Structure 1
């Protein structure tokens, strides 16, 4: 049948045309798919690059911050080292000239009339206090003392990088309000001990003070050792705490002459709650380095002097904490109606 043959031929041609069209569409769609896949991969790479860049920027920013912090700390430490080296050099210079008394006056003050008032030493100490205060958080993190209920001053002998030193760490919580405690501690820490013991109307202390006084330390067999202390202290009141920092030199007297200790200290007071009751936490760290001025000093003499200084420091701390308790309980001569009584300058 001719008509049937024509229809079959036409149908086959139609199938061929559709096949070509489908093949052409397949090629186009495959190309589109490849393009989309390539675009997707490219977008992924761009995202990874952006994330990598963001991470890199974060790392670079943090590294820069650390470098700036390290440079700042290095500058502060360099200033502290220069000041310490200057003081040690001055102390060693005492015996390097024939007139020891004159050299001693050069260290502790003006040499006019032989009166050593400590002005040179105090000036050096005061210039170091800012750098010491800047180290407060780092020092407290490193010592990380556990809080107890009794303030203790226990010096431990240590050696680091060939340098022998003694240090004491303590953290104590007392059941008294922060404002009253910090006010009382300011009076105790920053007033000349002789004035504090004998004057019931102590002046309200300044934020930076220098004091010089003699401390008697009772030893065995009715022996009393005398120490002369030169100290510079600064109080910094922050939003949530009060920080005391100090520098001091303790000078042996009499048979302890020629022996010194170079001391640095930190004391941080911060408020805390015990249940519904206010309290105050003390965190302290004290470090001193023995220094001998002269060639005659022996290791035994140095050890004896260090023990005397440690005993004297322990006695002073105990006396201070007893006075603090009396003041906060309202039973001390410095208090009226439970509040400290100051006399303005």
Structure 2
């Protein structure tokens, strides 16, 4: 179970008291996620999720709170921060930043179909549209500069075809960096994987885990999302799912010609980002039961993206 910080009932009871949501009935750790500790919390007033932030700069957390409030105000199903009676959303518990949020209905989809992908594409376009005009500024700590600095360190641990693939990918990032950063920008979820989306029946009912959110090229967010939702077990793209996601997105936020030009490269960059972060996680000591995802999954996807036969829909 991916809970890095264990909680005692008494300390959680003291933490929830200022919210005025009634007695603590029950709580349990959530066996998902790789970076933060999450708990389902049952209070007399309802069901909530408590997150203890384990990674990243504490100074960045007000950005997450403000972004969630903006998305909630725009009608997107997100777990906005609950405030105490004195108006505090972001607090501390067990010496970690802590955020209490409403628990959203629904469950994760393990085997998405074209309908699920279209729902995700629509949600992502809505997020980008409501932040594009005035995005909240936050630089990703897993951006292009990070890839170019971290990549050579990880190359020391690789050999053969994996090493050559990494070297070629880093060279592409260096060559494309300026053009990529010039693409249209907004706030990004930057981690819109299947385990961060909830469906209640056929409808998307919630998107969670905004702790990697940042400001950057919208196309990067699309590529990250599509690489997870539309990949087969071999790492290749399921074209029917991918076209459904892109069409739904483009019906709300049409793609720019410059984005179409950089699309194949962006799919590879998005694969590289998660290959590197998983390589790092796999080599770090972890607590018993903490989930570590297989880096080879994204190495295989990166291999499959060397040739991309999926153009962006520029006109519908």
Greater helix proportion = 1
What is the TM-score with the length of structure 1 in the denominator? Answer: 0.25
The structure, 1 or 2, with the larger RCO (C-alpha pairs under 8 Å, 6+ apart) is 2
What is the TM-score with the length of structure 2 in the denominator? Answer: 0.26
